[in-house]
Every structure is written in C-alpha cells, then in structure tokens.
C-alpha cells in the first residue's frame, strides 16, 4: 500500500493527500488585479488537492510581470482572495499563496504606469513577453536597486504575507525560481553588485535569506515554504555554479523551521544542466520536500513512499482535470487541456473542464 493518498503535515499545513496543485499563472485577474468569480470557481474545483498553491501573486506594483496577474497589495485584492480561500476551505482544502516578484522579467505595459522595473543589476533579460496593448514585446530594461531600497523590497514580501493571512490563506510560498527577483539576486549572471548583496556567494544569498526571514517573522516559519529550481535557464538566468549556490541556500535555511522546500527538477526544462535537483534538496535541506516536474503517478508514489519527498506537485495535469486526485486514485483517464486558453480571458479553458463523471 502506498502512502500517496494519505494525509500528512508540512509545518503548520495539513494535507489530506500528497497531491499538490502546482502554481500556475493563468492571467484571469480583474481590472484591479483582484481575483474574480472565475478564479474562485477554478480554485474551489481543484480543492481536493492535498495542497493548492496559487498562481504567482505580486507583492507590489513593481513586482508585477505579466498581464492580468493578481496582486496582494490592495483591499480589493485581499477581499477577492478571501473569497478564494473561503471557497477552498468550504471544500475541505488547504491553500497557500505564491508570492512572486518578477523583478526584470516584465514589460512596462503590463504594470501600473507609476511602477518601476527593478533588479539587482541593470541587465535586461533577453526574451519577449505578451502584452495586451501590443502583443509580444521585448522584456523591459530594469534599473539596479539602490542599496538603501533593498529593505523596502524585502518588506514587500512580508507585507504580502500579512495580507495573505488576512485573506485566510493557510500559508505562503516564496517564488525563488524561474528567473524572478530572488533568483536574480542568487545568480551570478543577473547579480553583478559590488555591495553586500552581490559578489560573493554569501552576499548573493542575502536577499533571499532576508525575504524568507521576513516572511517567517509575520506569523512563524512553519507557514512559509519556498520554491527553487537550481540550474533553470528560464528567463535568461545563468549562474556559474547553481549547485553550489543552492546547496548554500538550503543549508542556510535548514534550521529555520520552514514548512517546506518546493523543488522543481529539470526534466521538462530545455537546455538545462545535468543536475539532480531532488537529490540536492533532499541532502542539503533535510526538511519536508514537495517535488515537481513531469511526474507520472508511479514515480510520484515511489518518491513519496521512499521518504524522499512528502508530496508531489502537478501543474499541467490539473488544468484539464479539476478532480485530478480522484482520477489518479481510481486510475481514470486524464483529459487534455486547450493550450490556446492558458492565458486567455474568461472561464473557457479555465473553470469549465468537467470532472470524470
């Protein structure tokens, strides 16, 4: 018998099974970047997951990257998220908010006109991003954060955490992967600072450690998780030695009492180095892991049953299968999703996928 469909806890979070819904940006927020009715339905439909992790949510206007993505800054946004968490809790689910500051991975047309595009160093990312105003556009030029501004950016993560708890979330997850702001500080290619936030490995870790400490200080570390993907070149990220960087980060947070580390392996990532991210995290973190990326059910069960991970996150399979847990448990066929509707507006290809019945 497998433990895969049995309950567990990650810090203060209670999971009724080991199936985690991975964070997915779906660009359905309303005109105030607040959760809409469609979002309430979408998350409630998927509440049978042991843990639902929301799409990336920006903690400040500067941190917004993509069009129609939600924030945790204003009262309208808190009120919207309250409706999401209530709907998920009414179904017996557990839900955490993913806090995502995009840093340089943005286009100015997607953000408030008064916001800024900031990064550790003024190095533009190669790549394009969709905008509602003009279609695909080259990513915007960032400016380097001034040293005295950095505590304010750290406190944006804490403020969003506070608002997440006010909105009824069970916990929060810091997005430290995929080339967004913490990853920009961690990596040598994007961090060429010469002050205490750049240069040495210890200095490159500082921002992410301060972010996690600030989030933990809001109401305990055991409601706070973080997501990493060592070696992921997504969003033009490069690091001279990602294994060394992330081992140092994981060892640095090992004794903090955080709820979990959510580690993405490199199976579906193009041009990725040959790193075993799950093994790296298991060894260096020594606390509960959620693992992710292209897991099939047999492999998911074995990574949990072997004790390496506490749970497995699924992203794409949750899009077309709101009842993914039941389908996995009863070996029912999985539905495909419509890729054209990933980031479109409205309920089509979002909250209109049927359950297996």
Active site residue 180: yes
Give me the residue label for tokens 């997504």: 234
Q: Concatenated DSSP letters for 247-264?
A: HHHHHHHTTS--SEEEEE
- Answer for which of 11, 56, 142, 179 binds ligand FMN (CB under 6 A) is 56
- Answer for which of 308, 342, 345, 356 binds ligand FMN (CB under 6 A) is 342
Nearer to ligand FMN, 181 or 198 (CB): 181
Q: Is 217 helix (H, G, I), strand (E, B) or coil?
A: helix
Q: What angle do CA 121, 112, 214 make, to 5 degrees?
A: 55
Q: Does the protein bind ligand FMN through residue 9 (CB under 6 A)?
A: no
> Which one from 180, 260, 295, 350 is the annotated catalytic residue?
180
Mark residues 26-55: x for contact with ligand FMN by CB under 6 A, - for none.
-----------------------------x
Q: Does the protein bind ligand FMN through residue 341 (CB under 6 A)?
A: no
Distances from the Cα of 186 to the Cαs of 208, 209, 216, 330, in angstroms? Answer: 7, 10, 19, 42
Q: Is 301 helix (H, G, I), strand (E, B) or coil?
A: helix
Q: Does the protein bind ligand FMN through residue 59 (CB under 6 A)?
A: no
Q: Does the protein bind ligand FMN through residue 111 (CB under 6 A)?
A: no
Distances from the Cα of 166 to the Cαs of 75, 85, 94, 163, in angstroms? Answer: 10, 10, 15, 5
Q: Is 8 helix (H, G, I), strand (E, B) or coil?
A: strand
What phi and psi, each to the nearest 5 degrees, are found at residue 209? -65, -40
Mark residues 248-277: x for contact with ligand FMN by CB under 6 A, - for none.
----------------x---x---------
Mark residues 291-330: x for contact with ligand FMN by CB under 6 A, - for none.
-xxx-------------------xxx--------------
290/313 Cα distance (integer angstroms): 7
Residues numbered 166 to 205 that lie near ligand FMN (CB under 6 A) are 175, 178
Catalytic residues, by residue number, are: 180
Residues that bind ligand FMN (CB under 6 A): 22-25, 55-56, 98, 100, 175, 178, 227, 264, 268, 292-294, 314-316, 342
């Amino acid at each position: 018998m497998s433990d895969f469909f049995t309950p567990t806890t990650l810090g203060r979070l209670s999971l009724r099974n080991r199936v985690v819904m991975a964070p997915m940006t779906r660009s359905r927020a309303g005109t105030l970047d607040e959760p809409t009715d469609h979002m309430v339905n979408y998350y409630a439909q998927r509440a049978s997951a042991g843990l639902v992790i929301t799409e990336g949510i920006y903690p400040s206007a500067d941190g917004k990257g993509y069009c129609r993505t939600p924030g945790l800054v204003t009262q309208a946004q808190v009120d919207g998220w309250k409706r999401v968490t209530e709907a998920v809790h009414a179904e017996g689910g557990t839900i955490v908010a993913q806090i995502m500051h995009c840093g340089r991975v943005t286009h100015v047309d997607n953000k408030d006109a008064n916001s800024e595009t900031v990064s550790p160093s003024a190095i533009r990312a190669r790549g394009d991003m969709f905008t509602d105003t003009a279609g695909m556009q080259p990513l915007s030029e960032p400016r380097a954060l001034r040293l005295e501004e950095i505590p304010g950016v750290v406190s944006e993560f804490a403020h969003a955490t506070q608002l997440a708890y006010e909105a009824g979330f069970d916990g929060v997850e810091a997005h430290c992967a995929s080339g967004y702001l913490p990853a920009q500080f961690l990596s040598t290619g994007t961090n060429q600072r010469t002050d205490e936030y750049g240069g040495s490995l210890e200095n490159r870790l500082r921002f992410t450690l301060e972010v996690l400490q600030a989030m933990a200080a809001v109401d305990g570390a055991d409601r706070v998780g973080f997501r990493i993907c060592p070696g992921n070149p997504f969003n033009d990220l490069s690091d001279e030695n990602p294994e060394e960087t992330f081992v140092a980060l994981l060892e640095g947070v090992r004794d903090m009492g955080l709820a979990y580390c959510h580690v993405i392996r490199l199976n579906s990532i193009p041009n990725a180095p040959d790193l075993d991210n799950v093994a790296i995290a298991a060894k260096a973190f020594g606390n509960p892991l959620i693992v992710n990326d292209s897991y099939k059910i047999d492999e998911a069960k074995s990574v949990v049953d072997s004790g390496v991970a506490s749970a497995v996150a699924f992203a794409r399979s949750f899009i077309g299968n709101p009842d993914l847990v039941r389908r996995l448990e009863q070996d029912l066929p999985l539905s495909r999703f419509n890729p054209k509707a990933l980031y479109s507006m409205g309920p089509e290809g979002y909250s209109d996928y049927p359950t297996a019945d």
